[in-house]
């Protein structure tokens, strides 16, 4: 470290020359005077003679400094500024901080090393010859006015020239009256922030930024944790958050979204701030030094980083489709799913609910009962036009109302063949109206393949090849599922609902065996989801063949040939059982992990008699398994059994590890696979609700004893809408693609847009397949905008080949389309990582 007249050696710091304390006080009073004037606290007539003759400090003047752009060079240097606002007010971590930054600069690969100079004299910021030599400035300051207006103007000029800034902990208290400095830092600490040292868990959400990529995803460490007067999330790029549930944040707490380290490109330069480093011991930590190293690599221009990815203003959400013409579905049907083609076209389907002006038939004596049109539309981004590709005649149009009137059947899912560009094959999951039985109130569900004429975008309805069909009851609504997805091996996953009523169980387990129509139960999900011999309430996995048939891949939950209990009691198509209504599924083709979400029952609160409240659920599924419904929910929280002759009488609690299907409506195995825990569940009480358990593993289900494992989401009205895992394509030249920050993150959403999830979550590969909780969640509610004029009712969302996101908004009604039903497009406009490759301090090669 080369010393200047304004520097102090680490071992003789107390001998350093300080400016006169009276001068510091004068600067503080002048800044306070200016702040009061700006706030309207002082008016001309109220000024005393003494005040009138005082000369207030002006706002930072335009400097005449001439700095190189960008400052610094290949001989990378960092200025560590540790000025304080008053004598004896120097930050107590200064010695440790300077020593740590110096050692960071002297260690590591040669290409990452730098020199530092430390000073407490702010005159450096008006010395253009000196200031222009530094690649970055690090503030280890305390609070208060550490710069006068000319000096702050010099720092501003330095940033405008492309300089780098690193603020550490109490630097956020510096220059309290400066709007510009507030923007440089990003946020201001609350005066009531806790002052004691506490151990807490830091969620490291950015796994690519040089400041965080090598840190533990869940980083446990002690520090003094600051609360923020205004949460900067969305205005800055947050790279790490502190988890408030792991310490005592005090009354000014920020909630689940509590940023602790962030960065952004600011006023021509690069700014990184960390609220950590509030103790001298922090600077001895290997991980914290690594954190500072990465921040300095970016601010000094040694390395590039993306500090734009979570800034809301960098995204554009645009509605693509217009409202339908009166009495027509020329733009969109009742939205129910979408898929994107390799060439960018978007295919989206309407379930079958008619325009509100059209008639609805609900009389079982009428041959047209429930008859609707399941429509397939195509949006072409090149022409920005919509084509109606075709419409299937489906059972799906009975309007709303009671569960014995409304229906969720219809056109439920769409997928394109992996070789769609060559063969034009489109797979549709639907309920053909021609196959309903008005006497028994039964129907058939089809998964069929059709061929699209790619020159006209018209579906050849005569090309249908039915791959798979199975019976469903249609006497009562609901739970049809519908989503489909491919893995990398050409296997097709098909999500089916439990084909069960939501009534007759008080909103708890759907296990009432009594209600039936002509011998078919419609309130007992043990007949369907919990049945090893029924295709409803499942996620099926088949391998379609070119001739329109299918084969069964290895590794499904059953082969269909199990000899257990006499044989003939399993179906080989079942990959996942025990799901209630999985409307949306996706497969990450990099890992072939299946991601699914399903809607829970209706109970608004837990019951010590019957079990958990309604849990909507998300799961990352890495192997064939039973996800629990209707026996267990969430992280294996059991329901109470019931059976004939009196279903109102509670029996024993289900044993999630040793499940038995003893329903009189079961034609499958009695001894079924154990339930496996899921990753995300939520209810009106909050996210990841859990309770103390007794010796048998049964939760107390007492609300006063509950704990919330996932504080970033909450239910109420709720309906999961599982999304994709984003994969960044570095080779893509798309100007719309989302940045690599989102790579590997799982998008989870809900139909509703209040406290319900609309997030991208990060999971731990070591635990995700066994029900491990997400390690980090990032809100998307301003990127995929909520609200009546935004995407209020999320119905489906998929990334296109160009890396942009397409989203379906269902609209504001139910069982019909309306003027808010629309296809949206969300693109990224933030640009590339910084600094530009040509501006790196040390260019490769």
The rounded mean pLDDT for the chain is 92
Q: pLDDT over 70 for what percent of the chain? A: 92
Please list the helix, strand and coil fractions of the chain in percent, rounded to the nearest 5, in that order.
15, 30, 55
pLDDT digits (tens, 9 = 90+) for 163-216: 999 999 999 999 999 999 999 999 999 999 999 999 999 999 999 999 999 999
pLDDT digits (tens, 9 = 90+) for 44-94: 223 232 322 233 334 545 567 899 999 999 999 999 999 988 665 677 799
From 284, 227, 279, 277, select the one nearest 254 (Cα to Cα).
227
pTM attached to this predicted model: 0.92
What is the per-residue DSSP string for 100-136? HHHHHHHSS-GGG--EEEEE--GGGGG-HHHHTT-SE
Whether the pLDDT of residue 26 is over 60: the answer is no
Can you give the pLDDT at residue 401? Answer: 87
Q: Which residues pair with 680 in a beta bridge?
A: 618
What is the per-residue DSSP string for 152-172? HHHHHHHHHTT-EEEEEGGGG
Can you give the pLDDT at residue 86? Answer: 66
286-299 vs 94-106: helix crossing angle, rounded to 10? 70
pLDDT digits (tens, 9 = 90+) for 350-383: 999 988 778 899 999 999 999 999 999 999 999 9
CA dist 672 and 430 (Å) reads 29
CA dist 270 and 211 (Å) reads 14
Can you give the pLDDT at residue 184? Answer: 98
In the chain the domains, ranked by start, together with CATH numbers, are 10-188+270-307 (no CATH), 317-828 (2.120.10.30)
Specify which of 81-90, 346-355, 650-659, 814-823 reaches the highest per-range mean pLDDT. 650-659
Taking residues 825-845, report their average pLDDT: 91
Which two structure tokens, joined as six digits, stand for 351?
């379930």
Q: Which residues pair with 243 in a beta bridge?
A: 201
Q: Which residues pair with 340 in a beta bridge?
A: 346
Whether the pLDDT of residue 27 is over 90: the answer is no
Can you give the pLDDT at residue 88? Answer: 56
Q: Which of 4-18, 405-419, 578-592, 732-746 has the lowest mean pLDDT?
A: 4-18
If one compares 610 and 844, the residue with the highest pLDDT of the two is: 610
Can you give the pLDDT at residue 844? Answer: 61
Which two structure tokens, joined as six digits, stand for 692?
């103390």
Residue 708, Cβ neighbours under 10 Å: how many?
17
Which two structure tokens, joined as six digits, stand for 16?
């350093």
Query: Pseudo-torsion of CA 165, 170, 174, 177, nearest 10°?
Result: 110
Can you give the pLDDT at residue 256? Answer: 96
Whether the pLDDT of residue 288 is over 70: the answer is yes
DSSP state of 576: E
Which two structure tokens, joined as six digits, stand for 205?
């959400």
From 314, 297, 454, 484, select the one nearest 380 (Cα to Cα).
454
**For the purposes of burial, counting CB atoms within 10 Å of the CB of 727, is it exposed (0-12), middle (13-18) or buried (19 or more)?**
middle
If one compares 843 and 544, the residue with the highest pLDDT of the two is: 544
C-alpha to C-alpha distances, 620 to 405, 617, 718, 746, 771, nearest whole angstrom: 34, 10, 20, 9, 8
pLDDT-derived band at 5, boundaries 50, 70, 90: very low
Can you give the pLDDT at residue 194? Answer: 97
SS3 740: helix
From 495, 584, 472, 488, select the one nearest 541 (Cα to Cα).
495
Q: pLDDT over 90 for what percent of the chain? A: 88
CA dist 413 and 418 (Å) reads 16
CA dist 739 and 785 (Å) reads 18
The residue to which tokens 């969305």 are assigned: 234
- The DSSP bridge pattern shows strands 77-81 and 442-453 to be unpaired
State the chain's maximal CA–CA distance in angstroms. 104
CA dist 334 and 838 (Å) reads 50
For residue 742, which phi and psi values (nearest 5 degrees)? -85, -5
Cis status, amide bond into 459, omega within 30 of 0: no
From 446, 448, 442, select the one nearest 432 (Cα to Cα).
446
Taking residues 460-487, report their average pLDDT: 97
pLDDT-derived band at 563, boundaries 50, 70, 90: very high
Can you give the pLDDT at residue 40? Answer: 34
Per DSSP (E only), the strands in 294-439 are 315-319, 335-340, 346-350, 371-380, 385-395, 411-416, 425-430
pLDDT-derived band at 326, boundaries 50, 70, 90: confident
If one compares 103 and 142, the residue with the highest pLDDT of the two is: 103
The residue to which tokens 């209020």 are assigned: 792
Whether the pLDDT of residue 286 is over 50: the answer is yes
pLDDT-derived band at 36, boundaries 50, 70, 90: very low
CA dist 698 and 101 (Å) reads 52
Query: Cβ distance 487 to 587 under 8 Å?
Result: yes
CA dist 839 and 304 (Å) reads 10
Taking residues 590-617, report their average pLDDT: 97
SS3 204: strand
Taking residues 307-328, report their average pLDDT: 95
CA dist 33 and 53 (Å) reads 13
pLDDT digits (tens, 9 = 90+) for 667-722: 999 999 999 999 999 999 999 999 999 999 999 999 999 999 999 999 999 999 99
């Amino acid at each position: 470290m080369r010393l200047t007249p304004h520097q102090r050696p680490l071992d003789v710091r107390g001998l350093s020359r300080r400016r006169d304390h009276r001068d510091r006080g004068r600067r503080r009073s002048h800044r306070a005077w200016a702040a009061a004037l700006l706030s309207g606290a002082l008016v001309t007539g109220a000024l005393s003679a003494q005040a009138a003759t005082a000369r207030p400090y002006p706002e930072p003047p335009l400097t005449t400094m001439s700095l190189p752009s960008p400052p610094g060079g290949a001989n990378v240097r960092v200025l560590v500024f540790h000025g304080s606002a008053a004598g004896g007010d120097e930050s107590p971590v200064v010695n440790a901080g300077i020593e740590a930054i110096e050692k960071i600069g002297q260690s590591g690969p040669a290409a990452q090393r730098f020199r530092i100079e430390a000073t407490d004299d702010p005159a450096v910021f008006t010395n253009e010859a000196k200031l222009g030599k530094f690649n970055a400035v690090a503030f280890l300051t305390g609070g208060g006015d550490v710069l006068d207006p000319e000096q702050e103007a010099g720092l501003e000029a330095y940033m405008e020239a492309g300089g780098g800034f690193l603020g550490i902990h109490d630097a956020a208290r510096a220059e309290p009256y400066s709007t510009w400095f507030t923007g440089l830092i990003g946020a201001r600490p609350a005066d009531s922030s806790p002052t004691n040292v506490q151990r807490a868990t830091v969620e490291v959400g950015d796994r690519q930024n040089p400041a965080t990529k090598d840190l533990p995803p869940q980083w446990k460490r002690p520090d003094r944790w600051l609360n923020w007067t205004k949460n900067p999330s969305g205005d800055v790029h947050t790279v790490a958050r502190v988890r408030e549930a792991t310490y005592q944040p005090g009354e000014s707490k920020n909630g689940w979204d509590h940023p602790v380290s962030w960065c952004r490109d600011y006023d021509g330069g690069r700014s990184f701030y960390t609220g950590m480093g509030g103790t001298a011991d922090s600077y001895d930590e290997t991980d914290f030094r690594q954190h500072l190293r990465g921040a300095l690599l970016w601010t000094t221009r040694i390395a590039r980083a993306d500090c734009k990815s979570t800034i809301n203003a960098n995204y554009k959400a645009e509605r693509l489709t217009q409202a339908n013409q009166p009495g027509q579905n020329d733009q969109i049907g009742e939205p129910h799913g979408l898929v994107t083609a390799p060439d960018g076209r978007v295919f989206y389907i309407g379930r079958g609910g008619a325009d509100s002006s059209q008639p609805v038939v609900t009389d079982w004596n009428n041959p047209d009962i429930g008859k609707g049109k399941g429509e397939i539309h195509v949006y072409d981004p090149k022409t920005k036009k919509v084509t109606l590709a075709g419409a299937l005649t489906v059972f799906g149009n009975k309007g709303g109302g009671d569960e014995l009137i409304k229906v969720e059947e219809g056109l439920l899912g769409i997928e394109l063949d992996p070789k769609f560009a060559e063969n034009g094959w489109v797979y549709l999951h639907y309920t053909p109206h021609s196959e309903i039985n008005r006497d028994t109130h039964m129907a058939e569900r089809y998964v069929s393949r059709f061929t699209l004429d790619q020159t006209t975008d018209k579906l050849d309805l005569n090309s249908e090849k039915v791959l798979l069909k199975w019976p469903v009851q249609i006497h009562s609504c609901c739970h049809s599922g519908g989503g489909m997805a491919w893995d990398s091996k050409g296997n097709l996953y098909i999500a089916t609902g439990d084909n069960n009523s939501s009534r007759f169980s008080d909103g708890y387990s759907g296990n009432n065996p009594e209600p039936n129509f002509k011998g078919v139960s419609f309130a007992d999900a043990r007949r369907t989801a919990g049945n090893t011999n029924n295709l409803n309430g499942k996620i099926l996995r088949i391998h379609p063949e070119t001739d329109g048939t299918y084969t069964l891949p290895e590794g499904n939950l059953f082969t269909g040939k199990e000899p257990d209990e006499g044989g003939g009691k399993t179906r080989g198509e079942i990959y996942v059982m025990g799901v209630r209504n999985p409307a949306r599924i996706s497969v990450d083709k990099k890992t072939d992990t299946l991601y699914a979400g399903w809607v829970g029952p209706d109970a608004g609160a837990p019951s010590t008699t019957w079990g958990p409240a309604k849990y909507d659920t998300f799961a990352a599924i890495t192997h064939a398994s039973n996800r629990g419904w209707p026996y267990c929910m969430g992280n294996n929280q059991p329901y109470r059994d019931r059976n004939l002759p009196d279903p109102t009488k509670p029996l024993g609690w289900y044993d999630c590890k040793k499940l038995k299907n003893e329903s009189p409506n079961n034609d499958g195995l009695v001894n079924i696979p154990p339930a496996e825990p899921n990753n995300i569940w939520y209810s009106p009480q909050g996210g990841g609700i859990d309770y103390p358990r007794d010796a048998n593993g049964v939760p107390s289900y007492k609300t006063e004893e509950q704990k919330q494992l996932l504080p970033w989401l909450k239910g109420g009205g709720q309906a999961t809408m599982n999304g994709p895992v984003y994969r960044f394509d570095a080779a893509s030249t798309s100007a719309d693609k989302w940045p690599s920050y989102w790579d590997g993150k799982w998008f989870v959403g809900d139909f509703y847009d209040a406290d319900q999830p609309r997030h991208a979550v990060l999971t731990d590969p070591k635990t995700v397949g066994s029900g491990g909780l997400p390690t980090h969640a990032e809100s998307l509610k301003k990127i995929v905008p909520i609200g009546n004029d935004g995407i209020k009712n999320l119905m489906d969302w998929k990334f296109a080949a160009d890396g942009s996101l397409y989203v379906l908004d269902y609209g504001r009604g139910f069982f019909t389309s309306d003027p808010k039903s629309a296809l949206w497009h969300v693109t990224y406009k933030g640009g590339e990582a910084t600094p530009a490759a040509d501006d790196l301090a040390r260019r490769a090669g």
